[in-house]
Amino acid sequence: MTITAKRPGATLRDSGRGLVERVARVRELGIVVALAVLFGVTGAVNPEFLGLDSLRDILLNSAIIAMLAVGQTLVVITRNVDLSVSSVVGLSAFGGALVLADNPGLPIVVVIAGCVLLGAACGAINGLLVGAAKVPALVATLGTLYAFRGIDYAWAGGRQVNAADMPDSFLSLGSRPVLGVPLLALAAIAVLLAVGWMLRNLRSGRELYAIGSNPAAAVLAGIPVRKRVITAFVASGALAGLAGAMWAARFGTVDAAAATGKELDVIAAVVVGGVAIFGGSGTVYGAALGALLLTGISSALAVLRVDALAQTAINGALIIAAIVLDRLLALRVAAALRRRRYRDAR
């Protein structure tokens, strides 16, 4: 016995079409604009910044962070976080380098596959802690951040693997260009496109968004939440393992402290790239662009002879700007929806 409503005629409300995707576009466009400004201004001051060598360098430097940011996005979308990636990179980089140095005859593909598997195993530990044992991701991966690094130190025992110990065929992967683009950057782009496609087009990809958007509803919808969360962590770990192999190839000299602290750069890239830290929205493309922007800024600051110490503050300001932008966008969308609802009610 409620009051009866007369709804407007059965015409479709068209103005809502694609609002979700439009917002994502606007968000990614923002980073592209920021990149353009960055390259424009820096290039005007020092044209060498736009030279091929410089651009190749920036691509190369951002490839590893971008790869990690792609993995991190998978986890963050489910309303979790993986702080342990830097330790997985370190473990995999040192492990891969050591095995190669000790067994020069081993096919490189096998070593890289081993690095990926090692990373996936680390990711599985994170996934089981979070998905099965229900430990909050922040705490679980903070724990494994230290634990994996500890294993790394114990394994290394103060040793260091030098470039001279590794075969040239492996080291050349770190710098060799294919059609003018560094191989590492191509690998990152390939991973980016593959993961981006899966997140958008596969049921399991959409389910990751659903889990982050409303975990309780995901359970009621019959989504295998535990399995999906574990898979996201395993994928993040595997990509970190691959990034470890890339790290060893790129830098040649590896000790147990490799990549320490990089997890924060990765999360910064993800946040700047518009992935909501509470899950449910954002794309891997945004995260990769975020990685490119942050790396680009550090290169630009070096070219502009800005104090390296100021760079940290600038990165921080950028993260805050990104979050403010997200908030403003959300408010605009809410206002738009409110107006539309009001209009439809007439």
Interface with another protein (CB under 8 A): 1-20, 201-203, 206-207, 209-210, 212-214, 216-224, 276, 280-281, 333-335, 337-339, 341-342, 344-346
Could you tell me the smallest distance in angstroms from the CB atom of residue 150 to another protein? 36
Residue number with CB closer to another protein (52 or 220): 220
Sign of CA dihedral 311, 256, 166, 67: negative
Return phi, psi of residue 80, to 5°.
-130, -175
The three-class DSSP label of residue 17 is coil
Q: What is the rounded distance in angstroms from the CA atom of residue 25 to the CA atom of residue 9? A: 31
Fill in the amino acid letter for 94. F
Beta carbon of residue 195, minimum distance to another protein (angstroms, whole number): 15
Closer by beta carbon to another protein, 79 or else 250:
79
Nearer to another protein, 27 or 262 (CB): 27
- Alpha helices, DSSP H only, in 157-202? 168-171, 183-201
| Distance in Å, CB of 211 to another protein, minimum | 9
Q: Specify the residue, 191 or 294, whose C-beta has the smaller distance to another protein.
A: 191
**Nearest C-alpha neighbor of 255 from the set 128, 103, 101:** 101
Give the residue with the Cβ less far from another protein, 53 or 342.
342
CB of 334 to another protein, least distance (A): 6
Residue 246 near residue 123 (C-beta atoms within 8 A)? no
Q: What DSSP element (H or E) covers 62?
A: helix 52-77
Compare residues 15 and 103 and give the one whose CB is closer to another protein: 15
- Of 80 and 295, CB closest to another protein: 80
Least gap, CB of 223 to another protein (angstroms): 6
DSSP characters over 100-123: HHH-TTS-HHHHHHHHHHHHHHHH
Of 80, 85, 71, whose CA–CA distance to 287 is shortest?
A: 71
Beta carbon nearer to another protein, 18 or 136: 18
Q: How far is the CB of 169 from another protein (least distance, A)?
A: 34
Parallel, antiparallel, or unpaired for β 254-255 and 160-161? antiparallel
CB of residue 249 to another protein, shortest distance in Å: 31
Residue 260 and residue 139: Cα distance in Å, rounded?
18
Angle formed by the axes of helices 137-156 and 108-127, to 10°? Answer: 140
Q: Give the C-alpha distances (Å, rounded to integers) separating 116 from 40, 107, 121, 242, 257.
A: 38, 15, 9, 5, 19
Contact assessment for residue 108 and residue 115, using Cβ atoms and an 8 Å cutoff: no
- At position 99, the amino acid (one-letter code) is V
Largest CA distance in the chain: 83
CB of 327 vs another protein, minimal distance in Å: 14
Q: Which is nearer to another protein, 12 or 133 (CB)?
A: 12
CB of 226 to another protein, least distance (A): 10
- Radius of gyration (C-alpha) of the chain in whole angstroms: 22
